[in-house]
Chain A
Amino acid sequence: MSKATLATIWLDGCSGCHMSLLDMDERLIELSPQFELVYSPLVDAKVLPRNVDVALVEGSVSSDEDEHKIRLIRSRARILVSLGDCAVTGNVPAMRNSFPVDALLHRVYIENATLQQQVPTERLPVLLKRVRPVHEVVTVDVFVPGCPPSADTIYSVLKELLAGRVPDIAALSRFGI
């Protein structure tokens, strides 16, 4: 059997979901014969390959760059997994949604800054008006809530997906914690 190709993507999140993935410890080794990690913040690959079997997405869609990435990934992934509350609900990044972007940038870079009071504009992704959960932008196949989902949860989800089954998420995880 050929190995499944796995990609993991980090949008607007704290990287806690990726930490939780690494927390699988020796179970990563157990599963590793079944997949090849072709693209991830955890490996060196710079280009997303054309055909990805499973893409794990951490983080919400907060900037034009996030939006571009998630659309690209959707077009290349067979199964797209919304991993963690930021991807699934918007979570903490979406707490800014009750305020206009201008007011937010002003608060952070002018009012609360002591040095170099200016809003950065060059070579940075532009913030979207609203932070959005991944499924508001592209179709999502599997939702894994949790902040972060536990290593046990991620292990079960990966194991099921690699075996060609659909994991019973409600039994494994929930919003928060």
Chain B
Amino acid sequence: MNPAPSVKTLMIDGKDVSARADQSILDAARENAIPIPTLCHLDGLSEAGACRLCLVELKGTPRLQPACVTLVEEGMEVTTQSPRLEKYRRMVVELLFAERNHVCSVCVSNNMCELQDMAKQLGVTHVRFPYRYPRLPVDTTHERFTMDHNRCILCTRCVRVCTEIEGAHTWGVFGRGVDAHLITDLDIPWGTSDTCTSCGKCVQVCPTGALFEKSKVGMQSQKNPDFLNYLNEMREIER
């Protein structure tokens, strides 16, 4: 048996909380009903630290830290809401919109998209950065699913669910910086992939209109990532 992990005490937004040493600031905050905005985090998957929406302030350091990949420490003093954090979170969302082509009014995920919701939640009413308008492909080769690179925010939820839960390792990230994009297997059309089991898990966890089921549009395209918690619970019981 593993030794019980030690307990840390810390302060989040002036509130005394305790957490296991292996918990992130995000975990500790959510357990105490302190909300921190996130996009790449998804309960049931490993953390990627990809979106930077969960940035928080730590006393004693000028650098902002992502709450999802920063472990709690004894005596930490965390601030989750401040004008500075709001400013950066809004910038993150605006940059996501400016980076690719988001045309909500004609998107399959219109009105059920986590990026769109986040913009509203953070009060983003317009994007101050110039839009890039890159020319990006749409992969329609899979029998049931479509990948629209125009809407991808590179959160890597799909990569993680395919690797960690389905065990298929179909998705990967190719290239760096602004050229980074998703690929299936060794950069072949999704429909010709030997590894994809067509389980649809990547579609269900995708927060935006990047991955969707071909037969479903509008209100039918609602995603249900909750299966993850169920699967993980069942696995815990087996062990």
A residues adjacent to B (C-beta < 8 A): 82, 85, 88-92, 94-95, 97-99, 130, 133, 135-136, 140, 143-145, 147, 169-170, 173-177
A sample of 9 cross-chain residue pairs with beta-carbon separation below 8 angstroms, ordered by A number, consists of: A89-B103, A94-B133, A98-B101, A136-B130, A140-B126, A143-B126, A170-B122, A175-B116, A176-B107
Q: Is B110 an interface residue (CB 8 A)?
A: yes
- B126 contacts A92, C-beta separation under 8 Å: no
B-side contacts of A173, CB under 8 Å = 125
Which of the listed residues A82, A88, A147, A175 has the most CB atoms from chain B within 10 Å of its own CB?
A175
Q: Is B135 an interface residue (CB 8 A)?
A: yes
B-side contacts of A89, CB under 8 Å = 97, 102-103, 126-127, 131
- B126 contacts A82, C-beta separation under 8 Å: yes
Q: Which 5 A-B pairs have the closest CB atoms?
A: A176-B104, A147-B105, A170-B123, A97-B133, A174-B120
Chain B interface main SS type? loop
- A85 contacts B105, C-beta separation under 8 Å: yes
B-side contacts of A97, CB under 8 Å = 131, 133
Q: Is B111 an interface residue (CB 8 A)?
A: yes
A-side contacts of B134, CB under 8 Å = 98
Please name the residue on chain A nearest to B109 by beta carbon. Answer: A176
B-side contacts of A92, CB under 8 Å = 103, 105-106
Chain B positions 111-141 with a Cβ under 8 Å from a chain A Cβ: 111, 113, 116, 119-120, 122-128, 130-131, 133-136
Shortest beta-carbon distance, B53 to chain A, in Å?
16
- A176 contacts B110, C-beta separation under 8 Å: yes
- A143 contacts B105, C-beta separation under 8 Å: no
Shortest beta-carbon distance, A133 to chain B, in Å?
7
